[in-house]
Amino acid sequence: MKPAGRTFIISGGCSGLGLATARDLHQAGAYVVLLDRNEDAGHAAIKELGEEKAKFLQADVTETSSIKAAIKSTVEWIQQTGAALGGVVAAAGIAFPGKVYNARTNSPVSMSSVDAVMTVNVRGTIDLVRLAVPHLINNTPFTADGERGVLILVASSAAFDGQPGQLAYSASKGAIVSMTLPLARDLARYGIRVVTIAPSLFESEMTRNLSAKARESLERVMEFPVRAGKPEEFSSLVMHSISNSMLNGTVLRLDGAMRMPSKM
């Protein structure tokens, strides 16, 4: 599908990988809805992109009512612009490090931190996607194949080689990997594709405050290139995934062959 003249909802669209995706989609002539809980970042992004083809909707993906309100506003905007919903990029995500047992405090991981990660990364992704899907199903097909939309989900290298302290984060990203095929199978009859991207270490707000020890441990095992990924390298794969109709029900590792090590 060509993104130009279509609307894309990008959760986590005001920072890092989501913002880079919003920039590329916007540049390609798409209308972008930045669905994010960070109001300041939202206003900054709209200042950069302009109001004609970009909209910030403050929303929290852990709240169904909040997502519903954002989808409603998106549909109203679409009625004005005539740019049908082309898809969703579900990039909102959080990471709290925590080992299952903390020897220093002699305590198991807190369930509040596990719940927070699972709720944003897993529940938030499923909730956003399920509420957007009916609007994609209503589309008149965009292509001769009958394509009506595309969902891009964001996993992580941690889904495959989670490090110590990544219990909840790895579990959440493993869930994203596992839901990719059943989602694609559920939606195939409507011409809606699902592609998951699993990045390794990428420059963003999420990784800016990584400890030097953790960053060095990752840099040591990088194959090529020997550096963190750039957000625009992530977004260029999103753009390709949107345009290449044969990509469906699959998980694309975007990691320069790096496999995360066990020891820091």
Q: Is 93 in the site for ligand NAD (CB under 6 A)?
A: yes
The site string for ligand NAD over 137-176 (x = CB under 6 A, - otherwise) reads -----------------x-x--------------------
Tokens of residue 114, six digits: 């596990």
Contacts to ligand NAD from residues 73-92, by CB under 6 A = 91-92
> Do 55 and 33 meet the contact criterion of CB atoms below 8 Å apart?
yes
Q: Of residues 1, 9, 10, 17, which one binds ligand NAD by CB under 6 A?
A: 17
Cα(246)–Cα(230) distance, rounded to whole angstroms? 25
Q: Is 9 in the site for ligand NAD (CB under 6 A)?
A: no
Residue with tokens 């990428």: 202
Q: Is 214 in the site for ligand NAD (CB under 6 A)?
A: no
Residue closer to ligand NAD (CB basis): 2 or 47: 47
Q: Is 127 in the site for ligand NAD (CB under 6 A)?
A: no
Residue-wise burial string across 121-147, b where 16 or more C-beta atoms lie within 10 A, e elsewhere = bbbbbbbbbebbbebbeebeebeeeeb
Residue closer to ligand NAD (CB basis): 17 or 54: 17
Which range in 14-22, 23-31, 49-57, 186-194 contacts ligand NAD by CB under 6 A? 14-22
The nearest distance, CB 16 to ligand NAD, in angstroms, is 2
Answer yes or no: 101 catalytic: no
The nearest distance, CB 5 to ligand NAD, in angstroms, is 26
> Do 178 and 196 meet the contact criterion of CB atoms below 8 Å apart?
no
Give the CA distances from residue 53 to residues 40, 77, 149, 150, in Å, rounded to whole numbers and listed in that order: 19, 10, 19, 19
Helices 111-118 and 167-187 pack at an angle, to 10 degrees, of 30
Residue closer to ligand NAD (CB basis): 191 or 235: 235
For residue 136, what are the contacts with CB-CB under 8 A and spacing of at least 6? 85, 87, 148, 149, 190, 192
Cα(130)–Cα(168) distance, rounded to whole angstroms? 23
Which range in 56-64, 178-186, 215-223, 241-249 contacts ligand NAD by CB under 6 A? 56-64
Among residues 31, 101, 169, 190, which one is catalytic? 169
Which residue type does 252 have?
L
Residue closer to ligand NAD (CB basis): 16 or 191: 16
Concatenated DSSP letters for 175-208? HHHHHHHHHHHHHGGGTEEEEEEEE-SB-SHHHH
Residue closer to ligand NAD (CB basis): 142 or 202: 202
Catalytic residues: 169
The residues of the shown chain that bind ligand NAD, judged by CB under 6 A, are 11-12, 14-18, 36-38, 41, 59-62, 91-95, 120, 124, 154, 156, 199, 201-202, 204-207
